[in-house]
Structure formats: structure tokens, C-alpha cells
Chains A and B, each alone.
Chain A
């Protein structure tokens, strides 16, 4: 029942938001529901609930390792959202608040799904629920981004359904009775039909990889992240991509149980490295600081895949990196949203000198940039170090070298652009220079807390979380 509450509470919140009469007080539902969700999550994290193998939805070790990160990110984004929607009070926010809460509920369902069908429906529903959120600004460019998101994302999600069917047929082929829970599929193990399992793996990797934004299926990402409000970028980059990664990990464990583990590892490494390479090259060229964050997200999805392809130690690093990615991306997107609103533009050709216009947001943006490019003492440094060490331990020297080169290129690209925006004489696209943009504390404190959390994760990773990651790795890669 408790795992179901994580899904139901936000959905009830969404229903309430849909009928709530006042545009001014409605946004407060966001932190209220977010806080309840986080409390539930922490309670479940501490209480180690038992999950029966045939359950379709359960707070199993993998969900324990992932979902609290999303919940934490959501709460801080929700707190930011209250101030943000006050700034944007000219726009009705009924659909925005309701859909944001629905996304939280569906993300919880996706993380906890232990059944192929439930997993797919939750991911598809998240895709659809995010459409009005992307479209919040109602500009022609937002239309365009939403259209591309829906077309590319919809095709990806259709392919993942085809992949789920293939996996189901593989199970039927060897006497399965149509039980599509992942535990039952794993239990069938090596008897699953090999050609069908491989077909399913390819389709599911492409399908959920599209949702996650792995290259070359990442094309929707820069447009969507660039045009959406910062808060939505944060939720997409830290929450929605995470649920797709969870899906890939769950499918991977079934395919590995069928005896194709080496192939999954190899494909994950290749896709991960390719994503990093594409992201690094585009980072060197882009001139728009919100699209830059999207490419940085592609890069970090690449790191997650590489970690997942490097055995137990790498998988542990990847789970750690999921947390770091959510927290740092949250801080970056929220502060970038502030910068964009103050400057009225997003490209290096139009904007500079933000350190004088919005000193707090600019400082958070730069600190977040150092965090995301893996400078100590922030969390990403430590998780990427884990992944690198796993690469050396498993004799993937070439992978490690490429990872380092891509990280270096990404660092160059990110810092080049960020300092061009922040340094120099103030130059804005909207207001006359000299007018101070009001930095409300509600728009500054949430990204600051996210950064502090990332720093804390790096300096002293809580033992409870480390245990949760170890348990999740044990679930994903059973000891032989």
C-alpha cells in the first residue's frame, strides 16, 4: 500500500490543483505535495519494506536507490515554482501545476514498476504529461520544441512498446504463461529465446534511450530544454531521464539473466561513449546557455550508461551519479532560468555581464558549472571517479581514456560559454542596463540548497544511501 501512496498522493494533488479556484494560491500545492512525497520516500528508505516478487509495483532496492533523489529534486523545484509562478502571474497556472504534480506521481510509478506493461504505461504517461509543461511559454519556438519532443519521444516510446512485446514473446516461446513481471522474466533466465531477447534489447535501448536522451536519439533535448522554463528543464533532466535509466537497468538485468550480459555491457559502453562524444563536440560549438545545459545532460546520460556497462563497481558509481546529476542539474537549470529572465535572451551574442546584473544567480550558475564538470568537492567528481576506477579495474583503458578526453572537451565548452555570459560589461536584450533585476529569495535559495546537497553528497556520502546503492546493485547484478 505504501508504495502505491507515492503514486496516489501526487495524482490526488494534481486533481485538486485542477479544480483549485485561485491562481494565486494554487502553486502552494506544489511544495505541499512535494514535501509529503519526500517524507513518504524517506520513511520507506529507512523502513526497508519487503517486496513480493510478483508485485507489479514495489519500493524495491532499485527504487530505493533512485526515487528519493527525484523526490528531493522535485521538492526544491516546487519551492522555486511558487516564486516562479508569482513572477509569471500573468499566465494561468492551472494546467501547469496539475501536470507537474501528475509528472511526480507518474515518475514514482515508473521508478517502482516491476512489470513491463506498467513500466511502459508510466513512461508514456510522463511523456504526455510533460507536453503542456514544455508549452508553458506559448511562443512559436515553444510550439516547435513541443512538436519535436512529441514526435521523437512518441516514436521512441512506441519502439519501447514493441521491444516489451518482443521480450514478452521471448518468454512465451519458452513456456512462460504471459507473466510479464521482470522478476518472472529473469527467473526464466537462459531459457528465453535468444533472437527475441536480442531484438527486444535493441528496441528497448533505442526506445527508452530516446526518453533518456542518448545520442543519436537526443535531437529533441536541446530544443525542449532550451524552450521550457528552467524549472521544467530541471525536472526533465533530473527526473524524467532518471526514470528512463531505471527502465534500461531493469531490462538489462532481464537480458543479462538470459545470458546476454556481455552484449548489453558492450552496447551500453558504445552508446554511452558516443553520447559523450556528440555532447562534447556540440558543447564546443553552441552559443546558447540553455541548450548548453541540454548537451551537458546528454553527456551525463552517457556517463550513466558507461557506468552501467562496467560491472558492479561501475553500476554503483552510476547510481551515485544519478543523485549527483539530479541535484547539480537542478541547481544549474534553476539559476539559468533566473539569468534568462533577467537578460531576456539566451545566447552569448546577446548577453554578457550577468555577474553585475544578477550576482547571486550568476554565482550559483558558476558554482553549479564547476559541480557539473566534476570539480571537487562536489558530488559528481566522486561518482565520476568511481566510474573511472571501475573502468581501469575491468581493463577498459580505452574507455577510460575516451571518457577523460570527452570530459575535458565538455569542460572547455561549458566554461567558455558560461564565463562569456557572466563576465564583462552588462549587456541585456530587454531592459536598459543599470536596472537591477530583483532576485527574490524564493528564486535563489532552492538552487543554493541543491548545490549544498551536491557538495554534502561528495564530502560525506550518507551510509544509508550507500547501503541503498549496494542493495540495488545486488538486485541488478545477482552474484553468481
Chain B
């Protein structure tokens, strides 16, 4: 069972690298969507028996991260007529190298943190740290607003991975909070993206430079 979860975490880490290396926005969105579905299945694999709260978290994650958010992003892309190139500040190869280095560092760092007996051998902590780092690289290293939103979502995916460690113990409350905020956050971001479009006729955050010292 732990192996199945580890396999999915590994898949998510691979998808991180794919997101860093791809040059087209629809690919990045698809990668994110696949990662969301992989993340959503994990809680089901971690439970031995049926628990409605865990099932709810899984269903909500698959629906939210896997379908609703990618749909909103694609719609935003279509309505705003954003072209499909990613436009990196940090090039694709350096991004990939950063991502790979980050993944190795995450594994090394995770070794230093003590784990509960039932989590030993789990890849959740390195997976979480690697996703957070990937999210940062995308946030900093991409020009377009939509790619930055993708970066932010991958960062949130990392935090969700970490939250799975607490799935047994804490109330669903914390988990539900994430989903809610994630959706609302993207919604708000989507509106702003829309407005930016009207104000600047582009989704290029490089043009957001009027405010500086």
C-alpha cells in the first residue's frame, strides 16, 4: 500500500520536472491536472477501511485540482486569447536542472527530519518539498500570469502532500480549508488575470513595472 502511494508521489515528482521543462501553456495545465488527480487518489490508498471523510477529501481534490481549476485556467486562456508559449525568464534547461537539484536536496533534507514509524520509507516529505521548490521556480522564472498561477498551484500541491501525513490524526477541517481557499484563490486570480488583460492587453507580468523604487 505504501508502495502504491510512493509510486504516485514519484509520478507527481516526475510531473514537476515535466512542468518545468515544457514550453507550451496547455501542456503545463495538463501536467497540473494529472498531478491533481494523482494527489487526489492518494488518501484512498492510505486508508485500510472506508472512511467517508477521507473519501470526501479525495473526491474533492480530484474534482478541484484535476478538473475545475484546469478548466478555469483554460477558459481564462481562451477568453483572454493568450498565446501558448510559456516565455521563461529562467530558461527550460536551467529550470530543469534547478528542479532536479531541488528534488535531490529535498530527499537529503527529508532524511534529517524524524518520521513516525508508519511513515518510514514514505516519499511524502521529499515529494512535498520538491513540489514546493518547483512551485517557487515556476513563480519566479516565468513571465506569464497563467504560468505563475500554475507555479502557485504546484506549490500548494506540495503542501497538500505534506498534509497527507496528518490525514489520520487531524479533523478534515484543515484539509477542507485548503480546497476552499485554493478554489477561491484561483477564482480571484482568474478575475484579476481578466482585468490585467483589459488593462494591459497582454498577460505579461514584465509590464507590471510601474511601481518600483
Contact = CB atoms under 8 A, between A and B. Distances in A.
B156 interface: yes
B185 interface: yes
Interface stretch (A14-22, A138-146, A258-266): A138-146
B166 A169 contact: yes
Contact of B189 (A144, A150, A199): A150
Given A146-B192, A158-B156, A165-B165, A117 B170 contact: yes
Given A117-B170, A178-B168, A195-B114, A143 B162 contact: no
A223 interface: yes
A147 B162 CA distance: 27
Interface stretch (A32-40, A59-67, A120-128, A235-243): A120-128
B27 interface: no
Contacts, number: 112
Contact of B159 (A144, A161, A169): A161
Contacts of B177: 117, 120-121, 124
B139 interface: yes
B1 interface: no
Contacts of A416: none
B148 A151 contact: yes
Interface string A103-120: 000000000000011001
Interface of B: 112-114, 116, 128, 132, 139, 145, 148, 152, 155-156, 158-159, 162-163, 165-166, 168-171, 173-174, 177-178, 181, 184-185, 188-189, 192, 195-196, 199-200, 205, 208, 210-211, 213
22 contacts: A116-B174, A121-B177, A124-B177, A124-B181, A128-B188, A131-B188, A147-B196, A148-B211, A150-B185, A151-B152, A154-B185, A158-B152, A162-B128, A162-B158, A168-B166, A168-B170, A172-B165, A178-B166, A195-B113, A196-B114, A227-B211, A282-B213
A145 B168 CA distance: 40
A274 B59 CA distance: 45
A154 B152 contact: yes
Contacts of B199: 140, 143
Interface in A161-200: 161-162, 164-166, 168-169, 172-173, 176-178, 180, 193, 195-196, 199
Contacts of B174: 116-117, 120, 164-165, 168, 180
B203 to A, nearest CB: 11
Given A117-B174, A140-B200, A165 B205 contact: no
A226 interface: yes
Nearest to B158: A162
Given A151-B152, A161-B159, A177-B169, A199 B184 contact: no
Interface centre among B112, B113, B171, B200 (most CB of A within 10 A): B113
Given A128-B181, A140-B200, A285-B213, A148 B208 contact: yes
A31 interface: no
B156 to A, nearest CB: 6
B197 to A, nearest CB: 10
Interface string A262-299: 00000000000000000000100110000100000000
A155 interface: yes
Contact of B196 (A116, A143, A164, A169): A143
Contact of A161 (B173, B178, B189): B178
B170 A144 contact: no
Given A158-B155, A173-B116, A180-B174, A150 B192 contact: yes
A354 to B, nearest CB: 23
Nearest to B164: A165
Given A165-B163, A165-B166, A141 B211 contact: yes
Contact of A193 (B114, B169, B195): B114
Given A147-B196, A151-B148, A196 B113 contact: yes
Contacts of A180: 170, 174
A161 B178 CA distance: 9
Contacts of B205: 147
Given A141-B210, A222-B211, A155 B152 contact: yes
A178 B169 contact: yes
Given A143-B196, A143-B200, A180-B170, 8 more contacts: A116-B174, A141-B211, A147-B192, A151-B139, A154-B185, A172-B165, A173-B114, A178-B170
A143 B159 contact: no
Interface in A385-422: none
B152 A168 contact: no
B165 A169 contact: yes
Contacts of A158: 152, 155-156, 159
B210 A155 contact: no
A165 B148 contact: no
Given A117-B177, A143-B199, A146-B192, A168 B169 contact: yes
Given A227-B211, A285-B213, A195 B168 contact: no
A416 B132 CA distance: 43
B113 to A, nearest CB: 5
Contact of A147 (B168, B173, B178, B208): B208
Contacts of B189: 150
Contacts of B200: 140, 143
A150 B188 contact: yes
A193 to B, nearest CB: 6
A172 B118 CA distance: 12
Nearest to A169: B165
Nearest to A117: B174
Nearest to B205: A147
A143 B170 contact: no
Contacts of A124: 177, 181
The 4 closest A-B pairs by CB, nearest first: A178-B169, A144-B208, A178-B170, A117-B174
